[in-house]
Amino acid sequence: MSYKKTGRFDGRKADELRPVEMSVGILPNCTGSARVQVGKTVAIAGVYGPRKVRPKHAELKDKLLIRCYYDLVSFSVTDRARPGPSRRSIELGLVIKNAIERSIFVEKYPMSMIEVFVEIVQADAGSRCAAIIAASLAVADAGIEMRDFVPAVACGKIDDLICLDLTKQEEDVHDGEGATDIPIAYIPSEKEITLLQLDGKISEKDLMEAIKLGIKGCEEIHKMMKDVFKKRYETK
Protein backbone atom coordinates (compact mmCIF):
# COMPACT_ATOMS: atom_id res chain seq x y z
CA MET A 1 0.00 0.00 0.00
CA SER A 2 1.35 3.42 -0.87
CA TYR A 3 1.67 6.33 1.48
CA LYS A 4 -0.62 8.59 -0.60
CA LYS A 5 -3.45 6.02 -0.56
CA THR A 6 -3.35 5.30 3.15
CA GLY A 7 -2.44 8.66 4.72
CA ARG A 8 0.13 8.85 7.56
CA PHE A 9 2.24 5.74 8.10
CA ASP A 10 1.04 5.22 11.67
CA GLY A 11 -2.61 6.01 10.91
CA ARG A 12 -2.76 9.28 12.85
CA LYS A 13 -4.89 12.24 11.85
CA ALA A 14 -3.09 15.34 10.57
CA ASP A 15 -3.58 17.15 13.90
CA GLU A 16 -2.80 14.16 16.15
CA LEU A 17 0.26 13.84 18.39
CA ARG A 18 2.25 10.65 18.75
CA PRO A 19 1.78 8.88 22.12
CA VAL A 20 3.45 10.92 24.86
CA GLU A 21 4.82 9.68 28.20
CA MET A 22 6.34 11.88 30.93
CA SER A 23 7.83 11.38 34.37
CA VAL A 24 9.71 13.64 36.77
CA GLY A 25 12.11 13.11 39.67
CA ILE A 26 13.77 10.12 38.01
CA LEU A 27 17.45 10.93 38.77
CA PRO A 28 18.30 11.01 42.50
CA ASN A 29 21.62 12.85 42.11
CA CYS A 30 20.14 15.88 40.30
CA THR A 31 18.30 18.84 41.79
CA GLY A 32 15.53 18.14 39.28
CA SER A 33 15.02 15.64 36.46
CA ALA A 34 12.54 14.38 33.88
CA ARG A 35 12.05 11.77 31.19
CA VAL A 36 9.91 12.45 28.11
CA GLN A 37 8.99 10.00 25.37
CA VAL A 38 7.23 11.21 22.22
CA GLY A 39 6.57 8.27 19.94
CA LYS A 40 9.95 6.53 19.78
CA THR A 41 11.97 9.64 20.71
CA VAL A 42 13.22 9.64 24.32
CA ALA A 43 14.79 12.59 26.15
CA ILE A 44 16.16 12.60 29.70
CA ALA A 45 16.99 15.88 31.43
CA GLY A 46 18.81 16.66 34.67
CA VAL A 47 19.22 20.03 36.37
CA TYR A 48 21.87 21.10 38.89
CA GLY A 49 21.50 24.30 40.91
CA PRO A 50 20.89 27.09 41.53
CA ARG A 51 24.47 27.34 42.75
CA LYS A 52 27.51 29.61 42.58
CA VAL A 53 28.75 30.50 39.12
CA ARG A 54 32.03 28.98 38.02
CA PRO A 55 34.13 30.69 36.79
CA LYS A 56 33.07 33.68 38.88
CA HIS A 57 33.67 36.23 36.10
CA ALA A 58 30.80 34.62 34.13
CA GLU A 59 28.17 35.45 36.76
CA LEU A 60 25.34 37.85 35.93
CA LYS A 61 24.72 40.50 38.56
CA ASP A 62 20.99 40.84 37.95
CA LYS A 63 19.79 37.40 36.87
CA LEU A 64 20.29 33.66 36.71
CA LEU A 65 22.88 32.23 34.33
CA ILE A 66 21.49 29.22 32.43
CA ARG A 67 23.78 26.70 30.77
CA CYS A 68 22.22 23.98 28.62
CA TYR A 69 23.97 20.94 27.22
CA TYR A 70 22.41 18.68 24.59
CA ASP A 71 23.74 15.28 23.59
CA LEU A 72 22.51 12.70 21.09
CA VAL A 73 24.01 9.51 22.48
CA SER A 74 25.79 7.23 20.04
CA PHE A 75 23.25 4.38 20.12
CA SER A 76 20.17 6.62 19.83
CA VAL A 77 20.05 6.61 16.03
CA THR A 78 20.28 3.95 13.31
CA ASP A 79 23.63 5.27 12.08
CA ARG A 80 26.03 5.58 14.99
CA ALA A 81 26.42 9.18 16.13
CA ARG A 82 29.93 10.45 16.78
CA PRO A 83 30.39 10.86 20.57
CA GLY A 84 31.27 14.20 22.13
CA PRO A 85 30.08 17.74 21.49
CA SER A 86 29.45 18.83 17.91
CA ARG A 87 28.45 22.13 16.36
CA ARG A 88 24.86 20.83 16.19
CA SER A 89 24.78 19.82 19.86
CA ILE A 90 26.16 23.21 20.91
CA GLU A 91 23.52 24.94 18.74
CA LEU A 92 20.70 22.83 20.21
CA GLY A 93 21.91 23.54 23.74
CA LEU A 94 21.43 27.22 22.93
CA VAL A 95 18.01 26.50 21.36
CA ILE A 96 16.86 24.78 24.58
CA LYS A 97 18.20 27.61 26.75
CA ASN A 98 16.44 30.28 24.70
CA ALA A 99 13.19 28.28 24.66
CA ILE A 100 12.96 27.84 28.45
CA GLU A 101 14.62 31.00 29.77
CA ARG A 102 11.59 33.25 29.24
CA SER A 103 9.53 30.95 31.49
CA ILE A 104 11.93 31.26 34.46
CA PHE A 105 11.96 34.12 36.98
CA VAL A 106 15.66 34.66 36.31
CA GLU A 107 15.70 37.94 38.24
CA LYS A 108 15.08 36.02 41.48
CA TYR A 109 18.43 34.22 41.23
CA PRO A 110 21.14 36.89 40.65
CA MET A 111 24.79 35.77 40.62
CA SER A 112 23.68 32.11 40.46
CA MET A 113 23.55 29.50 37.75
CA ILE A 114 21.77 26.31 36.77
CA GLU A 115 23.09 23.66 34.43
CA VAL A 116 20.62 21.69 32.32
CA PHE A 117 21.81 18.45 30.74
CA VAL A 118 19.64 16.74 28.12
CA GLU A 119 20.43 13.31 26.69
CA ILE A 120 18.54 11.94 23.70
CA VAL A 121 18.74 8.19 24.25
CA GLN A 122 16.48 7.27 21.34
CA ALA A 123 15.72 9.46 18.32
CA ASP A 124 12.86 9.27 15.81
CA ALA A 125 12.34 12.93 14.83
CA GLY A 126 11.26 15.75 17.14
CA SER A 127 14.29 15.36 19.42
CA ARG A 128 14.76 19.09 20.09
CA CYS A 129 11.08 19.43 21.05
CA ALA A 130 11.24 16.43 23.41
CA ALA A 131 14.43 17.96 24.86
CA ILE A 132 12.68 21.27 25.56
CA ILE A 133 9.76 19.53 27.28
CA ALA A 134 12.12 17.44 29.42
CA ALA A 135 14.28 20.45 30.29
CA SER A 136 11.24 22.52 31.33
CA LEU A 137 9.91 19.72 33.54
CA ALA A 138 13.33 19.17 35.11
CA VAL A 139 13.72 22.88 35.92
CA ALA A 140 10.29 22.86 37.59
CA ASP A 141 11.22 19.66 39.46
CA ALA A 142 14.31 21.47 40.77
CA GLY A 143 12.00 23.94 42.54
CA ILE A 144 13.04 26.92 40.42
CA GLU A 145 10.31 29.54 40.17
CA MET A 146 8.69 29.60 36.74
CA ARG A 147 5.91 31.44 34.97
CA ASP A 148 4.78 28.26 33.23
CA PHE A 149 5.91 25.04 31.59
CA VAL A 150 7.27 25.19 28.04
CA PRO A 151 5.75 22.56 25.72
CA ALA A 152 7.17 22.08 22.23
CA VAL A 153 6.24 20.22 19.06
CA ALA A 154 7.16 20.24 15.37
CA CYS A 155 4.85 20.58 12.39
CA GLY A 156 5.58 19.57 8.82
CA LYS A 157 4.05 19.38 5.40
CA ILE A 158 3.10 16.03 3.84
CA ASP A 159 2.05 16.40 0.21
CA ASP A 160 -0.51 19.24 0.49
CA LEU A 161 -1.35 18.59 4.14
CA ILE A 162 0.04 20.37 7.22
CA CYS A 163 0.66 17.70 9.87
CA LEU A 164 1.57 17.67 13.54
CA ASP A 165 4.53 15.81 15.05
CA LEU A 166 6.11 14.00 12.10
CA THR A 167 8.06 10.77 12.52
CA LYS A 168 11.47 10.24 10.93
CA GLN A 169 9.85 7.89 8.41
CA GLU A 170 7.49 10.67 7.35
CA GLU A 171 10.36 13.15 7.11
CA ASP A 172 12.57 10.75 5.14
CA VAL A 173 9.97 9.79 2.52
CA HIS A 174 9.61 13.46 1.60
CA ASP A 175 13.27 14.42 1.93
CA GLY A 176 13.93 14.34 -1.81
CA GLU A 177 10.95 16.62 -2.37
CA GLY A 178 12.16 19.11 0.21
CA ALA A 179 10.87 18.04 3.62
CA THR A 180 9.51 20.88 5.76
CA ASP A 181 10.11 20.89 9.52
CA ILE A 182 8.80 23.64 11.83
CA PRO A 183 9.67 23.18 15.54
CA ILE A 184 7.65 25.41 17.90
CA ALA A 185 7.94 26.03 21.65
CA TYR A 186 5.20 28.02 23.38
CA ILE A 187 4.33 29.40 26.82
CA PRO A 188 0.52 29.13 27.03
CA SER A 189 -0.01 31.48 29.99
CA GLU A 190 2.01 34.20 28.24
CA LYS A 191 0.76 33.33 24.73
CA GLU A 192 4.40 33.62 23.68
CA ILE A 193 6.34 31.57 21.14
CA THR A 194 9.89 30.99 22.40
CA LEU A 195 11.08 28.85 19.51
CA LEU A 196 10.13 29.01 15.86
CA GLN A 197 12.41 27.45 13.28
CA LEU A 198 11.87 26.52 9.66
CA ASP A 199 13.75 23.92 7.67
CA GLY A 200 12.44 23.63 4.13
CA LYS A 201 10.13 25.59 1.87
CA ILE A 202 6.57 26.62 2.65
CA SER A 203 4.15 29.37 1.63
CA GLU A 204 3.26 32.15 4.05
CA LYS A 205 -0.32 30.85 4.26
CA ASP A 206 0.81 27.31 5.08
CA LEU A 207 3.33 28.61 7.60
CA MET A 208 0.60 30.44 9.51
CA GLU A 209 -1.53 27.28 9.45
CA ALA A 210 1.42 25.26 10.75
CA ILE A 211 2.02 27.74 13.59
CA LYS A 212 -1.64 27.55 14.64
CA LEU A 213 -1.50 23.76 14.57
CA GLY A 214 1.77 23.79 16.54
CA ILE A 215 0.26 26.00 19.24
CA LYS A 216 -2.72 23.63 19.48
CA GLY A 217 -0.32 20.71 19.91
CA CYS A 218 1.68 22.63 22.52
CA GLU A 219 -1.50 23.28 24.51
CA GLU A 220 -2.24 19.53 24.53
CA ILE A 221 1.29 18.77 25.74
CA HIS A 222 1.03 21.56 28.34
CA LYS A 223 -1.96 19.82 29.91
CA MET A 224 0.05 16.59 30.12
CA MET A 225 2.95 18.46 31.76
CA LYS A 226 0.62 19.90 34.41
CA ASP A 227 -0.96 16.50 35.01
CA VAL A 228 2.36 14.68 35.50
CA PHE A 229 3.51 17.35 37.95
CA LYS A 230 0.26 17.18 39.86
CA LYS A 231 0.60 13.40 40.20
CA ARG A 232 4.21 13.81 41.31
CA TYR A 233 3.24 15.90 44.32
CA GLU A 234 0.05 14.02 45.10
CA THR A 235 2.19 10.92 45.77
CA LYS A 236 4.69 12.72 48.03
pLDDT at 56 (0 to 100): 93
Give CA–CA dist 6/122, Å, rounded.
Answer: 27
pLDDT at 6 (0 to 100): 40
pLDDT at 147 (0 to 100): 97
pLDDT at 159 (0 to 100): 75
Percent of the chain with pLDDT over 90: 73
For the residues 106-119, what does the mean pLDDT come to?
Answer: 97
pLDDT at 177 (0 to 100): 55
For the residues 121-125, what does the mean pLDDT come to?
Answer: 93
Give CA–CA dist 84/81, Å, rounded.
Answer: 9
pLDDT at 17 (0 to 100): 97
CB distance 43 to 27 below 8 Å:
no
Give CA–CA dist 210/194, Å, rounded.
Answer: 16
Can you list the domains of the chain with their CATH numbers?
3-234 (3.30.230.70)
Q: Is the pTM of this model over 0.85?
A: yes
Digit-coded pLDDT (tens) for 22-61 = 999 999 999 999 999 999 999 999 999 999 999 999 999 9
**Phi, psi (degrees; rounded to nearest 5) at 170:** -70, -40
